[in-house]
Amino acid sequence: MSQENAQLVRAGAENFLAGRSDFGVELLDPNVKWDALEGDILDISDIYHGPEAVRQYWRDWLGAWETVQFEYELIDAGDRVVMLIDQRMRGRSTGIEVPLGKYAQVYKFRDGLIVHWKLYRHQSDALKAVGLPE
């Protein structure tokens, strides 16, 4: 099942990179929790409960950017998938390129749906959280 989870995350990431606004919505459990506290984005760093709250977070965050691009690596960790990300964006109002850099997200699955999704500022912290070496 875990390889299937990694493929689901990959499909969501590829839909996002292709510009689809509904990327990954179908993967969210009705009781999903998105932990974006480590994002340090003043207005929206919080914990979000439920698919609509998660979608609102992404609408708010993505509204600031003309483009968001990233390279990623997925690591299968049983019922969790680690996504190691290196991201850059361009501001919608300024046109300024912003290299966000490397960070990670961990997705926890149950029955083929994401039940918990957490942002990690440091990739090493995400790997430790799932019991993998840095």
**What would the pLDDT profile of 94-124 be if each residue is shown by its tens digit?**
999 999 899 999 999 999 999 999 999 999 9
For residue 54, the SS3 value is helix
Confirm whether 76 is domain-assigned. Answer: yes
pLDDT score recorded for residue 20: 80
Confirm whether 74 is domain-assigned. Answer: yes
CA–CA–CA angle 86, 6, 14 (5° rounding): 55
79 C-beta neighbours (distance < 10 Å), count: 15
CATH number for position 99: 3.10.450.50
Confirm whether 133 is domain-assigned. Answer: no
The domain of 10 spans 2-126
Beginning with the edge strand found earlier in the chain, give each strand of the sheet holding 65-77 in spatial order.
47-49, 28-35, 113-120, 97-110, 80-91, 65-77
With a CB cutoff of 8 Å and minimum separation 6, the contacts of 103 are: 85, 87, 119, 120, 121, 122, 123
pLDDT score recorded for residue 71: 96
pLDDT at 22 over 80: no
Closest residue by Cα to residue 68 from 17, 117, 13: 17
pLDDT score recorded for residue 41: 66
Confirm whether 132 is domain-assigned. Answer: no
The mean per-residue pLDDT over the stretch 14-19 comes to: 88
* Cβ 92 vs Cβ 42: under 8 Å: no
Band the pLDDT of 18: cuts 50, 70, 90: confident
Least confident of 8-12, 16-20, 124-128: 16-20
pLDDT at 42 over 70: no
> Which pTM was predicted?
0.92
The mean per-residue pLDDT over the stretch 7-19 comes to: 91
Q: How many domains does the chain have?
A: 1
Confirm whether 46 is domain-assigned. Answer: yes
pLDDT score recorded for residue 58: 87
Confirm whether 134 is domain-assigned. Answer: no
Q: Which amino acid is at 105?
A: Q
Confirm whether 80 is domain-assigned. Answer: yes
Confirm whether 72 is domain-assigned. Answer: yes
Instruction: Report the mean per-residue pLDDT for the chain.
Output: 91
* Cβ 66 vs Cβ 79: under 8 Å: no
